[in-house]
Structure 1
Amino acid sequence: IHLSAELGHFLIGVVSKYVARDIHYGTKACFVNGNNPLGAGGQRFNISECIVANNETICATVKSQDGASACHWDWTGLGGEYQFLAGPSFMAMFTIASILWGILADKYDRVYILFSSSLLFSLALVFTSVSTRFWHLVVFRMMLAVGVAGVAPIAPGIIFDMFDSSERAMAMGFFHWGIYLGNGLTFVVGKYITEANLFNAGWRSTFVLTGLPGALLAILVLFTVDDPPKSHKSERQLTKNGSSKKHGNTYRHHHHHGLETESPEDDAEATEDCCESVDEAQVLISGGGSCQNKTVSSTTGAVSCCLQPAVIFLGLAACLRHSAGYTWGYNSALYFQTYFPNYSSASIWLTWITIGGGSLGVILGGYVSDRLVSRLGISSRALVLAGSQIIATPFALGLLYLKPPYAFMSLFIGYLFAEMWYGVVFAILVELLPASFRSLGLAISLFVVNNVGGNLPIIVTPLTNLVGFRGALTILYPGALFTSSILFFFTYVALLRK
């Protein structure tokens, strides 16, 4: 389901050029005629003459050696309207809907909610195929966002309740594998199915075929998956004056991040520092200063947990890292269509690099952080985040300033390290948030991270006007990776101090 959701989410970035030439939105530019690098009549000419032609008149003057027109003026699929369609129109609904889905998930059966959200995003993709106006695309993309928003806060909560802390980051990594499989498949699905022109429908058939698997999987989940019991149920309650009352007959002996605790009183003292303003909290195990093992019963207490320095730094870093991913995800196909229009294998490269590099990266991140956390504690996860992003930065620069195929080789290495972050961030979050607040807490986290990270790529267009398309991507992709690595390191320091 996650794969289908992400495939639908990023599909517009690959087919935008085709959609724009049908519905007409965004900007226009000069393109080489046909797919033949020799130009019309097989005569050689300088392809860069087409790329640098900045108006229709100049574009029409570019000729091949036999005098035939070498270029044509057409819709690019880029521009402010595209960036709005890809980013803000999606995120506006995604961020709001994720909160609502999270509230429902804390109260009702999560499998039914996952089914409903999956069916909704599948229908949105099918409905997109009948669009004839730009505003139709916006409406159906907003509908898509509402459906996709239900997957992110619900599925991690279910995974958390199925796995213990020594396996949790790895499990989260496999779940978030869907991002890279879905994103990677958009390049071949968007290019080859659209160009196959099935049923003489072009890009419209691509949206229909993309939407159908999600609907089938939603039905499969409904009949094959049970909602597991939520972990860390209450066994103890703390009152305002610190006195405690037993609920249940026994306390369990626990081992958490290498720290053994046997006394319930010690447990209470170990977790007091995070949520001093909580009126009622129930302690299960020592959280090393986190709120994970408290059942928060007041809004003030929940806010107190979320305003820990470690959570704030983690959130800021995640916002920038997410914006880098969205910037590249929404513009990667269009980047190669713009600067290397005749490099026909770009889609194949982007597909296997996104799937292979991204998947290996997220699994590697989960594996390394799980191994370190048992020895060094939760803070080691943040150190993995900081190190991976700083290593990825120079390779992200190489992607934008090398020519194919070397640009793709640089992208693969960079992707391997850059994509170690997502599952690890959520592993930290679920370990910092209390059980009773976890689904809603994840939803709020997604609200903040996606609202900032998902909308920041809207500035690609104004930055392009100042420094060019490649310059804009340099600022918002490798530049954001570097800055996020610094903030992840600050997160490590904050966790280490606790």
Structure 2
Amino acid sequence: MTMAQLTAQNVPVELETQSDCDPSTMTASPGAYRYYVLILLLAVYCFSYVDRQIIAVVSPQLKAELGLSDSALGAIKGLAFSLFYTTMAVPLAILSDRWHRVKLITIALSLWSLMTALSSIAQSFVHLFLIRCAVGIGEAGGNPPSHSLISDYFRKNERATALGIFQMGVPLGTTISFLGGGWLVATLGWRATFIAVGMPGLLLAALLALTLRERPRGASDDLPVSQVHGRWQDQVRLLLGMRSFVLVAIAGGLQAFCGYALMMWLLDFTIRSHGISLTDASLAMALVTGIGGGLGTLAGGITVDRLSRRDCGNYFLIPGLALIASAPLLLAGLWAQPTMGLYCLFAAFTLLFGCMGPFYGLVQMLAPANCRALAVAIFSLSLSILGAGLGPFLIGVLSDILQGVAGSNSGLKWALCVVPAAALAGGLLLAFNRRIVSGDLKPASHI
């Protein structure tokens, strides 16, 4: 059901106002300023992944000092963050579609940065679990409004590229966590590391509040400044009624399962299986996730934007083939010798991260202009539940179970073998359903 149909059926609507924006600046073409917006929001997303990923870097010291099992570590790495990230994502996205997005991003960034710094005072599993829950609440308010704002600065045929650049925050933030965090942990310990990575976010929040401008919703789609909002329940039904949206959410969740499981456990795996020091293991992971993931993230959005002009099915086919190809590389990366395994993981991360720009670009194309933040939030629910929540936690539980069978150093390796299976499943789901995308995109273009 489109928004026009909702209006025709006398569904209650409300007008969005832009009273906190200057119309004289907001209606003008953003020109080069839009690239400043993109870079600034990329920095925010990068900070979110530094704060999110640092828990994986301090993991060995946490396990030793607090006496944690792999299951407990998995709960802190995954469940603690995703529990409230999942709970708060939709209501904050609904707020974002109706309120000032820049203010919401600024508040969210300030909250999660402060909570990351406060992780330094944790004295037990419970303390750290609760603080990481608060980090999840903050980050739930950052991603959906950022996607919505970018979509109002970049036109439809540029969005997969723009959002691919924005998604560079994942490999960049992960790289900073592994490189800088690895050095900080080895030098200062895990408590000082949390403070060092959390506090700079407050400075970025100040820059955001002073220099980032709101923009009318639908501005890059030549829509009116004032938008009509239906009830959020009807918007949810609209989105979930599109098979393309549902399938990309499932495939995105499986891809996120792979990404989060690997990023949260590969450091521990490398140290345990290959006897490598924390500093060397952090460097190796930075190369794999930073350079490999970064290349994939940038190339994926550009490639799909170009190829999908002729065939919209490429929004499914290209990331589907990338996920399928990543499966054997991931398996080889776990079982090969360290050097060869690193090469395989590098290639696998390039393919895995190459899916993010196409996924988010498609979500923004399918969603009406007045509920794009909500669309990202619903899409992110799958990523959060299957990826951030289940991925690290399931690997930790399986590792504890399999250690009794395979030994303390091999249990984690065997547990990580579920990751290639998830990548293969997501790839096949997309490849076999590539033809339905065109049918969903045509009506979406008239909303």
Give 5+ residue unaligned stretches, structure 2.
1-43, 441-447
Q: Does 1:334 align with 2:334?
A: no
CA distance in 2: counterparts of 1:12 and 1:462, whole angstroms? 17
1:345 to 264, 271, 280: 280
Q: CA deviation at 1:24?
A: 2.4
- Do the aligned partners of 1:313 and 1:490 also contact (CA within 8 Å) in 2? no
Partner residue in 2 for 1:494: 436
> Which residue of structure 2 aligns with residue 49 of structure 1?
none
* Alpha-carbon distance change, 126 to 305 in structure 1, aligned in 2, over 3 angstroms: closer
- Give the C-alpha shift of residue 298 in structure 1: 6.9
Tell me which structure has the larger Cα radius of gyration.
1
Normalising by structure 2, report the TM-score: 0.82
Instruction: From 354, 358, 377, give the equivalent of 1:420.
Output: 354
- What residue is the counterpart of 2:114 in the other structure? 123
Alpha-carbon contact 1:295-1:435 (below 8 Å) kept: no
Measure how far apart 1:235 and its partner are: 9.4
Report the 3-state secondary structure (helix = DSSP H, G, I; strand = E; otherwise coil) of the residue aligned with 1:374: coil
Give matches, 1:334-373, under 5 Å. Answer: 334-342=268-276, 345-373=280-308
Query: 2:376 — aligned with what?
Result: 442
Partners in 1 of 2:389 and 2:375 — Cα distance? 21
Q: 1:455-470 alignment to 2 at 5 Å? A: 455-457=389-391, 458-464=393-399, 465-466=401-402, 468-470=411-413
Following superposition, the deviation at residue 392 of structure 1 comes to 1.5
Which structure features the higher share of helix residues?
2
1:101 corresponds to which of 92, 96, 108: 92
Task: Name the TM-score, length of structure 1 as normaliser.
Answer: 0.74
Correspondence for 2:420: 478
Q: Distance in 1 between matches of 2:342 and 2:86?
A: 32
Residue 24 (structure 1) aligned with residue 67 (structure 2): yes
Inter-CA distance 121–298: structure 2 relative to 1 (3 Å threshold): closer
Alpha-carbon shift at residue 20 of structure 1 (Å): 2.6
Kindly indicate whether structure 1 or structure 2 has the higher relative contact order, using CA contacts under 8 Å at least 6 residues apart.
2
Which of 165, 169, 176 matches 1:178?
169
Instruction: Quote how far apart the aligned CAs of 1:233 are.
Output: 9.5
Residue among 297, 310, 314 paired with 2:248: 314
1:387–1:203 distance in 2 versus 1, CA, 3 Å: same
Q: What pairs with 1:141-180 in structure 2 (closer than 5 Å)? A: 141-180=132-171
For residue 193 of structure 1, give the secondary structure of its aligned residue in structure 2: helix
| Structure 1 spans left out of the alignment, 5+ residues | 27-78, 237-246, 249-281, 283-293
2:103–2:209 contact (8 Å) kept in structure 1: yes
Over the matched positions of the two proteins, sequence identity in percent amounts to 25
Which of 365, 385, 396 is the aligned partner of 2:330?
Answer: 396
In the TM superposition, structure 1's runs of 4+ consecutive aligned residues that sit over 4 Å from their partners are: 232-236, 294-298
**C-alpha separation in 2, matches of 1:235 and 1:192:** 49
Partner residue in 1 for 2:36: none
Deviation at 1:146, TM superposition (A): 1.1
TM-superposition CA deviations, 1:382-422 (whole Å, max 9, x none) = 11111111122221111101121111111111111121111
Show the 5 A alignment for 1:190-209. 190-197=181-188, 202-209=189-196
**RMSD, matched Cα:** 2.2
Alpha-carbon deviation of 1:221?
Answer: 0.5
1:224 aligns with 2:211: yes
What is the total number of aligned residue pairs between the two structures?
Answer: 386
Which stretch of the first structure deviates more once superposed, 116-125 or 130-139? 130-139
1:34-73 matches, within 5 Å, as none
> What's the offset of the Cα at 1:324?
0.9
Is structure 2 residue 41 aligned with structure 1 residue 2? no
Match of 2:127 among 132, 136, 154: 136
